[in-house]
Copies of this chain bind each other. A is one copy, B any other.
Amino acid sequence: MTEQPSPEIHPAWLPSTAFRAIASRRVVVDGDGPLVDTVRDEVIRAGGILTAPGEPADLVLVSGGSSGSPHPSGPFGSFGSSGDGFSVSRRDGTTVVRADGPSGLLNGWFALARDVPPGRHDPALPLRVLDHWDNVDLHPVMGRVERGYAGGSLFWHDGALREDLSRVRDYARLLAASGINAVTINNVNVHATETRLLTDRRDEVAAIAAEFRRYGVRVHLSINFAAPVFLGDLPTADPLDDRVRAWWSRATARMFDTIPDFGGYLVKADSEGQPGPHTYHRTHADGANMLAEALAPFGAVVRWRAFVYDHRQDWRDRGTDRARAAHDHFVPLDGTFHDNVIVQVKYGPMDFQTREPISPVLLAMPRTNLAVELQATQEYTGQQKHICYLPPMWSAVLRSVRVRALAAVSNAGDDPFWTGHPLAQANLYAVGRLAWDPTLDPIAVLDEWITWTFPEARDVLHELMDDSWQTYERYTAPLGVGFMVRPGHHYGPDVDGYEYTPWGTYHFADRDGIGVDRTRATGTGFTAQYPQPLSDLYESRDTCPDELLLFFHHVPYTHVLHSGVTVIQHIYDTHFTGAARVAEMRHRFQKSADLFTPAVYARISALLDEQLRSAEEWRDQINTYFFRKSGIPDARHRRIH
């Protein structure tokens, strides 16, 4: 394969008009260092007139603090928080942005484009990171980007670093404008080639870091826990072995020699076949702390994923519950992780399903730095063929937890629209905004994104997107039971696809009922992992929210929901209305051709055709499956095949 010339790249939320208010205005940029220079370049790009400090100006941007030391002091500095905040004031026709440091100045600059109100602005979370599951080598099963639906990687092509990194710079600018301050540039499943990014291929990491640095985004690396063995240097990767500890110290020091502002490591250990400390009868804390010690001198962090479970489960074993696994593994370790370890926890106890309860791990480790992990890439939520604006789901989780970081699996690739589906950009944008302020209204964030990206199409996009997550939920797996997707690629329906597999994802539907009994009283005891009042809330069918009923309870099809309908009728109703809603969305969009460029219209139009086909397939398979099983007809006599 050779690199193809790029088609026209969509500007996403930074069109040329984003800073039109700056054109011909006098702007003072006061401060030193590369990020301050980036702000100066931005002013010039926007058509502003750079003016000396003290001269009359329409806009004054003042960077306080350091000029960008590569080693912010202490582990929390390393999270990226120092200097990210800024304040805005207006006086006598002059807008003044006063930042705590150069990164705050850049944040303030981009905030101007969305008419930030006067006052103090600080990020709620110091680390706001996008994790790319990009493979350097084409993977025979997972392709160029694992669970990627937006073409190839922005960084890698055909086994090597891309020659032209100009899109990486554009991407960094987009991310900075949304609030992101870190990026992990390779898949958490670290294969042979990718293992070497840590060592003999770290110049490639440095080349990418140089592009991101310009916009204050620090680069992180997914590492192979067994790298000392894998690279042939040592016979063991035991984290308590002195040779291993020395190996990681040296490798990390060399990384910082090459990239002084390197951000840290991301580790998937003892999970789905990846190596980890369990091989050596050590704990996750032993593994994470060893890496943390190697990183500590440089003020950097290790993120250690809590996504650990038995993926060789036997469906006949009713005593094992995958939902329990992360809590069982990690909560006993609370308080034993070093300060520069972040335990990174998926928002739900399973795996990025359309609807899950919040992970109890996020509520149970007060003495540990936690990150919540979201998935912007739509693995289980329509794979960027379906419109599914996810922040309403994310927002509920983010408002319920106290974490130090937000990590999201990126949905961006080398697609001209960045995210395959042009409207999936909104999920990417919202990651940064919600990481900056988790209390933001997700629909207001969507409105911001529309304002910057498709300002002509505000009404139609709200109609298509505001409730698109709920719509997707309606025509897919019901009432929180999850999965029911085709194994492997995870697109489209297959109700029993995972029912008898080793992955631990069940629905237990029989002729009488459906759902997983996770109660303390009669089930797997998962509800006991929650603090009160959640534990009792989920334990009782009477108080468990309808949308999570089948996650926590096995109930008859005739069980009456709080909504007043039976489970089976709810299944029929939501699947008919869900698919009908997609038909409406498609109809609505088709009347809006004049609001979009031909390329955008054509792409969205084709994807809505597929979304409708798929939604109807979901509707029909789910309805037929449950009609065959229950024998209960639709009370409204609609067609079930």
Q: Which residues of A pack against B, CB within 8 Å? A: 140, 315-316, 318, 493-497, 500, 509-512, 620-621, 624-625, 627-631, 641
Contact = CB atoms under 8 A, between A and B. Distances in A.
Nearest to A620: B316
A421 to B, nearest CB: 24
A479 B164 CA distance: 61
Given A496-B496, A510-B627, 12 more contacts: A315-B641, A495-B496, A497-B497, A500-B624, A510-B628, A510-B631, A511-B629, A511-B630, A511-B631, A512-B631, A628-B629, A629-B629
Nearest to A317: B641
Contacts of A496: 494-497, 625
B510 A629 contact: yes
A511 B641 contact: no
Contacts of A510: 627-629, 631
Contacts of A495: 496
A625 B508 CA distance: 10
A315 B492 CA distance: 14
A500 B631 contact: no
Contacts of A630: 511
9 contacts: A315-B641, A318-B641, A494-B497, A496-B497, A500-B621, A510-B627, A511-B630, A511-B631, A512-B631
Q: Which 5 A-B pairs rank lowest in CB-CB distance, beginning with the nearest? A: A510-B628, A316-B641, A511-B511, A496-B496, A511-B631
A385 B627 CA distance: 37
Nearest to A621: B500
B511 A500 contact: no
A641 B495 CA distance: 19
* A315, A496, A512, A621 interface centre (most CB from chain B within 10 Å): A496
A510 B510 CA distance: 11
Contacts of A624: 500
Contacts of A494: 496-497, 500
B621 A509 contact: no
A512 B627 CA distance: 11
A618 to B, nearest CB: 10
Contacts of A628: 509-511, 629
* A316, A493, A625, A627 interface centre (most CB from chain B within 10 Å): A316
A493 B598 CA distance: 47
A497 B494 CA distance: 8
A625 B500 CA distance: 10
B509 A500 contact: no
Contacts of A316: 620, 641
Contacts of A625: 496
Nearest to A486: B487
A629 B496 CA distance: 13
Contacts of A627: 510
Nearest to A509: B628
Contacts of A497: 494, 496-497
Contacts of A629: 510-511, 628-629
A146 B233 CA distance: 40
Contacts of A620: 316
A628 B628 CA distance: 12
Nearest to A140: B140
A158 to B, nearest CB: 16
A620 B494 CA distance: 20
A143 to B, nearest CB: 11
A555 to B, nearest CB: 15
A236 to B, nearest CB: 30
A318 B641 CA distance: 9
A418 to B, nearest CB: 27
Contacts of A493: 500
Nearest to A510: B628
A509 B497 CA distance: 16
Contacts of A631: 510-512
Contacts of A140: 140
A576 to B, nearest CB: 15
A321 to B, nearest CB: 16
A388 to B, nearest CB: 22
A510 B629 CA distance: 6
A440 to B, nearest CB: 40
Contacts of A318: 641
Contacts of A512: 631
Contacts of A621: 500
A351 B625 CA distance: 25
* A495, A512, A641 interface centre (most CB from chain B within 10 Å): A641
A142 to B, nearest CB: 13
* A316, A493, A500 interface centre (most CB from chain B within 10 Å): A500
A147 B578 CA distance: 40
A420 to B, nearest CB: 22
A620 B493 CA distance: 24
A506 to B, nearest CB: 11
A201 B315 CA distance: 50
A641 B628 CA distance: 21
A602 to B, nearest CB: 25
A621 B315 CA distance: 9
A177 B494 CA distance: 48
A94 B499 CA distance: 68
Nearest to A641: B316
A287 to B, nearest CB: 33
A630 to B, nearest CB: 7
